Chains A and B, each alone.
Chain A
Amino acid sequence: MRSGGVTRVDVRYEAPETLQAAVALLASAGEPAKILAGGTDVIVQMETDLIEPALLVDIKKIPELRQIVAENGGFRIGAAVPGLTIMDHAALAKTWPGVLDGVKLIGSIQVRGRASIGGNLCNGSPAADSVPPLIAAGAIARIIGSKGTREVPVEKIPTAPGKTSLAKDEIIASFFLPPRAPHSGDAYQRFTPRTEMDIAVVGVGINLTLDSSGTCTAARVVLGAVAPTVLLSKECADALIGTKVDAAALDKLAAAASAACRPIDDKRGTKEYRIKIAGVLAKRTAQQALEVARKN
């Protein structure tokens, strides 16, 4: 490793085959430990000395973390399933196109051969592309720790850039995507200067349900890259619910999305720019989700 002559800690690597064994390793670790799934963030952070874990717990040999299964009318996606496997899942693509669009925007093909949605979430970036559509979908994370199992809505997991609400000995095992009501659709769009290999200036995930007359009866609107964490906005959802998602509703949505932003200035965009784009992108994403919902 290229570490500029700095003495490195001796890293221990473990690849347990059960969740219980993985949790036990994390619980008993006296030194800094890191969970290794696809490694596309963790290995870079090690390489650049941002983190110096003494223990790596590779969770990819745990079977339930590596599979996608149908469950109670929905889907359960293992937290360490690589992005490419998710993208190639025909039933998921049909039911949750927005979730798949988020996954498709993570890094390159090479990165998606390894990167997982569990890792994308736990890395704690407010610009993570798979997180807004997962939250919009109402995804529930199953978290396993020494004290047992918790089922937690995904929006409760990120707490700050790089931080999550997981305890030291907890692992996300899987995500449950709930069954779909008729006339439901989801979408994720992000704005970046380049079409590929870029990080969101703004990302918007929207999931909505219509009744048989085309009136929106339920909506979840999620904004990425415009606050310290991904934001689930009730005000944005309220702008859509009870409407036909017409021009007036979309204008209200745009205003609510811009109002919800608490962005930073950085090299990808200024605060003002992000606030403006959040409104524009929310409209576009709602229109896309609406098209999907009308077909279902």
Chain B
Amino acid sequence: MSKKYHVTTTVNGDGYEYLCEAQQTLLDVLRDELQLAGTKEGCATGDCGACTVMVDGTMVCACLVLAVETDGAKVDTIEGMAQGDKLHPLQQKFLELNGSQCGICTPGILIAARALLARNPDPTETEIRYWLAGNLCRCTGYDKIIRSVQAAAKEMRGA
């Protein structure tokens, strides 16, 4: 019987307590234990960014974080992005401008783009492309992704 670790955390503002094994990743726990399957698994080795989430305000790959490390931490995932029925401007623009094709990369890209706009409300196209370099889109719809981020940034600036 493997040793279990008790983790107390908040995910999208809601308190959670769970037991996990030391080697379980945050991604495993989010999807399989907490039933928060909006965060996707792509490569599981930190190369694709599909599992991008925020831990204590830092953008990370959930597959490269052990769940046990997040005891006491504040985790934010795609499930917390819309406010009830009201989509975040990034989500809205991805819908309007077809920033999402198959959709697997979309949650990670939305989380990453929101982190970028929090740091830099008016990024250049180059800055957006470099910031999102760790988020792979297997449909290769990069141009529409960039346009969607630019449009959302513009709206969020009130421009």
A-side residues, CB < 8 A to B, are: 1-2, 8, 10-13, 15, 36, 38-40, 43-44, 46-48, 56, 58, 60, 82, 84, 107-111, 113-114, 195-197
Contact = CB atoms under 8 A, between A and B. Distances in A.
Interface of A is mostly: loop
Contact of A196 (B45, B46, B130): B130
Contact of A39 (B24, B66, B134): B66
Contacts of A60: 69
Counting chain B residues whose Cβ lies within 8 A of the other chain, the interface size class is 20 to 34
Given A43-B25, A46-B23, A84-B58, A110 B130 contact: no
A108 B64 contact: no
Contacts of B59: 109-110, 113
Contacts, number: 90
Interface string B28-49: 1000000000000000111101
Contacts of A36: 66, 69
Contacts of A40: 46, 64
B83 interface: no
B112 A109 contact: yes
Interface of B: 2-3, 5, 21-25, 28, 44-47, 49, 52, 58-61, 63-66, 68-69, 112, 115, 130-131, 133-135
Nearest to A82: B58
B134 A8 contact: no
B66 A43 contact: yes
A110 B22 contact: no
Given A110-B59, A113-B59, A44 B22 contact: no
15 contacts: A2-B44, A12-B22, A39-B65, A39-B69, A43-B66, A47-B25, A48-B45, A56-B22, A108-B135, A109-B134, A110-B52, A113-B60, A195-B133, A196-B130, A196-B134
Contacts of B28: 1
Given A11-B21, A82-B58, 10 more contacts: A43-B63, A43-B64, A47-B25, A108-B61, A108-B134, A109-B134, A110-B112, A113-B58, A195-B133, A196-B134
Given A1-B24, A8-B23, A84-B58, A44 B64 contact: yes
Contact of B49 (A1, A82, A110): A110
Contacts of A109: 59, 112, 115, 131, 133-134
B103 to A, nearest CB: 19
Q: Shortest 8 CB-CB distances between A and B: which pairs?
A: A108-B134, A196-B133, A13-B22, A11-B22, A113-B58, A110-B61, A11-B23, A113-B60
Contacts of A44: 45-46, 64
Nearest to A61: B69
A109 B3 CA distance: 33
Contacts of A107: 46, 134
Nearest to A111: B46
A58 B68 CA distance: 10
